[in-house]
Amino acid sequence: MKFISTTLITAILPLAHAVGNAIVLNNCTETVYVWSVSSSIDNSQTLENGESYTEQFRHDDKTGGITLKVTTAADGIYNNAPETDYAYTLDSETVWYDISDVNGDAFANYSVALVPANSACESFIWAGGIPPSGIHTASCNADGDIRLTLCE
């Protein structure tokens, strides 16, 4: 029996791996609103100055990915307000992540930074809150956090 237990544990351990978090930190003086959107839309989270929203990286079976939609309007995603989207897709031990703006630039004139805890992974920093041209997608090990900081 002891042999079976040890064998089972040895077989399962490589399948278990730590998963990091998607974080949104509001350093802006105004309130921001965050929705976690996959095949469904979660209720908005209200973030005052200095507050953050955290969710563990997860996979959506229908869409594959998750988007954290951030606006400065309480019903922003329902009334086409400018939004900053932090999207990620968890793929086994890798997380693919990107940042984009929709319907305008919600944080124009303020800095926006999407930064992984693992410094070897690519960061995206918009000093003026407006995305530069090009692709803003990268991948990193899924065991570390990736934080979107607003008004850094």
Q: What is the pLDDT of residues 13-67, one digit of tens each?
A: 444 568 999 999 999 999 999 999 999 998 999 999 999 999 999 999 999 999 9
Q: Which of 16, 11, 1, 23 is nearest to 115 (CA)?
A: 23
pTM for this predicted structure: 0.87
pLDDT one-digit tens code per residue, 111-127:
999 999 999 999 999 99
pLDDT score of 10 more than 70: no
- Read off the pLDDT of residues 71-92 as tens digits, 9 standing for 90 and up: 999 999 999 999 999 999 999 8
Whether the CB-CB separation of 45 and 22 falls below 8 Å is answered with no
Residue with tokens 């693919």: 96
pLDDT of 76:
95
Gap between the Cα atoms of 44 and 18, Å rounded: 27
For residue 3, is pLDDT > 50?
no
Domains of the chain are: 19-150 (2.60.110.10)
Name which residue leads in pLDDT, 5 or 151. Answer: 151
Do residues 137 and 97 touch, judged by C-beta distance below 8 A? yes
Secondary structure element (H or E) that encloses residue 132, with its range: none
CA 86/CA 146 separation, integer angstroms = 10
Average pLDDT over residues 132-150: 95
Q: What is the pLDDT of residue 135?
A: 87
Residue 4: what are its φ and ψ, rounded to 5°? -65, -45
Dihedral (CA of 29, 22, 137, 68) sign = negative
Q: 67: which 2 tokens?
A: 């988007």
